[in-house]
Amino acid sequence: MVSSLKRSRLSALLSTLLLLAGCGGGGGGSSKFSLRNTRQGVSNETLVMVEGRWLAYLASEATSGRNGTDYNGDGDFSDSIAVVVDMRGGRQRELDVATSEIEIIGDEIYLVVAEDQDGFDWDLDGVQDDLVLLHWSRQNNALTFVASLNPNGRAHMVDAGDRLYFSESPVVPLAAPDTTLNFVTQAAPTTPMRVQSADLANTLSPGVIAEDEGLLFLFQDETVEGRDLNGDGDSLDGFVLALLDTTNPADLVRSVGLAIESDDTPVRARATAASDWLVGFLVNEAAQGDANLNDPALFAPGWQPSQCLGLADTDTFDNVLHFLHFAAWSLNPGLNPPVNSGLVGEDRVLAVRGTGGSPGYVATISAEDDEGTCSLNLDAADFDPLLEVDEDQDDRILRWIEASPAAVPPGDTKQLIALSIAGGNLSGVTDFGDRFVCLFDEFADAGRDYNDDDFDYRYVLGVMDPNVGPNVRWNFDMSAGVDRFVASNWMQEDRERGYLFLTVQENLHQEPLNFGDGDTDDSVPAFATFDPVDSVTLDLPGPPVATQFLNAGIAIAGDWLFFRTPESSDNRRWNSDRDFADTVLLRARLDKLDDVKFVTTLENNPDGLRPARFFVGGDIGVAYIANEVRDRRDYNQDGDRLDFVIRWFRI
């Protein structure tokens, strides 16, 4: 039962948190958007990109046409073929090449193609055994060979602003300080420009990892380079980190000289000034010479939390957070080397810019069982002795440190709180708006009650600004006045980090937020902005409609908010059929969030493990994967109703 005090606080939650003009919702009105069909079948897991005016995807030869279609003429029906759609004019073009990766830079479209799958010798070297980069644009409407690619790595090209970076397989031997890294631009889309190395005595063959706020992360393979790059005495490490400033066309590739676990290791670059970043990354102990990088003996007194004294980690199996300040490091790496924070990490690396003279902060998710035999969130002194306290080592804790060589990470147990395992692509933690925003698990923190209601919730929202100082505390009250605590089981950012999307759960307050079904089991979608008065509280506008559990799919395109809703959760037949069994795509204008409209029905996997998929990448259009079997429609006009098909609409 919710007390009258709780109900008064909930009223404030509904009126202020959701910022709604009304509480009735817009009903299941039809979409004003005109849905269009593409002509091919696709896999339900196909690559789809929406960027600017372009929709690009990989079509399946086997499910396109009545009996399959051999688009690239190689004699089989086993390939995935690149297709582009101009969403402004609606024209679709099959590019007829077997493709594995797509990037869109303005109106220039780039494809990664394996010759042995495509049945064509694109680089004219007499054999079909290369991985190649091809270019297409609407101006020339033809595929152009750009380069043969270095086949190593998970990804083979990455976009950075108006450039595309890739590592080539050179036709002629390199001469120091050449690297295999090249870029093309929108102005010269098929003319590669070679990037040089800061190592004047050697050539370099880096692979691409990712770009973040203008900084490019690269990896070097010692077995390819034939030398020890990380100073551990061997030449066997496959992933030694290197960096490049993509905002400066003349910048040089510089090796960090530290080994990471793989080209999928979490990294982060927070832009702090022109050509400067606070850079965080995880160094692998085993690859870095089997070194115990989180040994407390390496650090100043106070580095280890008091409850962990004598329980130090002794193995060499961890990934450990390191950081550097790019401008100072690149100018003189000897005087400004990477700094070992000693914090074990997994899944995420975060960075927050400093204020008041602080150099900023870096953070990661620390698993307790990687940090010796210590319970980081054990705080027996703070609780009633009759209550259980957390003594296990199975929690995930956000740990952070000021980005200074002499810094000591906060060790107060009121700062070290167990994280939730939430939906979305953020693992429940982010550095949105230069604050740490996390979802916490009261149950995993045995005895802590952040919203003062005597119940344990698995997804409590907390915000913290590390620039406040060493005594900073997490804030759970999303209000400058009456108490407003928020539970969320899903959190995700848009690609440009301009919005933080969350779900708001009803069960924290035991009161319906979607005004549709009377229960308290649902979550409603919201997008967060920081309160202009209080820097550690979030305003959470959103529509009063249930969204999909652990898979909300919230996105903003143009002036519209889109999100997924299971009809059964919202107790409405949004698509006006006879059942409540569908997952639908809904929309609402950002300036009228209570007026919600139906867009289309989304495909749902019967086992519930794969998400209903839709794709947003700008303010031109939205695409989704439709199921002809479910809809009993032949969308791609191939004579059957058996395919998955890309459908799209302009905004």
Residues 500-537 have pLDDT tens digits of 999 998 887 778 888 767 788 899 999 998 888 888 98
Q: Is the pLDDT of residue 330 over 80?
A: yes
Say what percent of the chain tops pLDDT 90. Answer: 64
What pLDDT shows up at residue 638?
Answer: 92
- In-domain check, residue 533: no
Weakest-pLDDT range from 206-210, 221-225, 580-584:
580-584
Q: Does residue 87 register a pLDDT over 90?
A: yes
* 214 or 371, higher pLDDT: 214
Across residues 126-136, what is the average pLDDT? 97
**CB distance 546 to 563 below 8 Å:** no
Q: What integer pLDDT is reported at residue 366 of this predicted model? A: 94
| Residue 593: partners with Cβ closer than 8 Å, 6 or more residues away | 18, 19, 20, 21, 541, 542, 543, 561
Q: Where are the beta strands (DSSP E) in 304-435?
A: 319-325, 339-344, 346-352, 361-367, 396-402, 429-430
| 323 assigned to some structural domain | yes
For 127, other C-beta atoms within 10 Å of its C-beta total 9
d(CA 320, CA 314): 13
Answer yes or no: is pLDDT of 448 > 90: no
Give the pLDDT of residue 533: 82
pLDDT, position 32: 63
Confidence of residue 582 (pLDDT cuts 50, 70, 90): confident
In a domain, 67, yes or no: no
Q: What is the pLDDT of residue 380?
A: 54
Q: Confirm whether 319 is domain-assigned.
A: yes
DSSP codes, 31-98? PSS--EE-SSBB-TT--EEEETTEEEEEEESTTSSTT---TT-SS-S--EEEEEEETTT--EEEEEEE
- CA–chain centroid gap for 192, Å, is 29
Is residue 61 very low, low, confident or very high in pLDDT (cuts 50, 70, 90)? Answer: very high
Most confidently modeled range among 16-30, 149-163, 455-469, 506-520: 149-163
pLDDT score of 320 more than 70 = yes
Tokens standing for residue 635: 């969308």
What is the pLDDT, as a whole number, of residue 580?
87
Tell me what pLDDT residue 445 has: 78
pTM for this prediction: 0.92
Average pLDDT over residues 360-373: 91
So what's the pLDDT on residue 550?
A: 79
pLDDT of 27 strictly over 90: no
Residue closest to 509 by CA, chosen among 18, 9, 17 = 9
Give 290-311 pLDDT, tens digit per residue. Answer: 999 999 999 998 898 888 888 8
H-run or E-run covering 463: strand 460-464
pLDDT band, residue 481 (cuts 50/70/90): low
Give yes or no for residue 610 having a pLDDT over 60.
Answer: no
Has residue 25 got a pLDDT over 70? Answer: no
C-alpha dist (Å) from residue 13 to 9, 18, 119, 463, 595: 6, 7, 61, 17, 19
Cα distances from 229 to residues 179, 243, 550, in angstroms, run 15, 14, 42
Over residues 585-591, the mean pLDDT reads: 93
Q: pLDDT of 232-264, one tens digit each?
A: 999 999 999 999 999 999 999 999 999 999 999
633 inside domain? no
Highest mean pLDDT among 304-308, 338-342, 632-636: 338-342
- Stretch 300-327: mean pLDDT: 91
Q: pLDDT tens-digit profile of 261-279?
A: 999 999 999 999 999 999 9
Q: Is residue 356 part of a domain?
A: yes
Do the beta carbons of residue 225 and residue 205 sit within 8 Å? yes
Whose structure tokens read 């970043």?
A: 277
Residue 30 has pLDDT above 90, yes or no: no
**DSSP letter at 478?**
-
Q: Which of 212-226, 369-383, 405-419 has the highest mean pLDDT?
A: 212-226
Pick the more confident residue, 13 or 52.
52
User: Per the domain annotation, does 102 fall within a domain?
Assistant: no
**Which whole-number Å values give the CA distances from 513 to 505, 517, 518, in the listed order?**
8, 10, 9
User: What is the average pLDDT across 344-356?
Assistant: 96
Please indicate, yes or no, if residue 371 is contained in any of the structural domains: yes
Question: Is the pLDDT confidence value at 384 over 70?
Answer: no
What is the total count of domains within the chain? 1
Q: pLDDT class for 381, splitting at 50, 70, 90? A: low
Round the average pLDDT of the chain to a whole number and report it. Answer: 88
Domain containing 295 equals 278-417+444-457
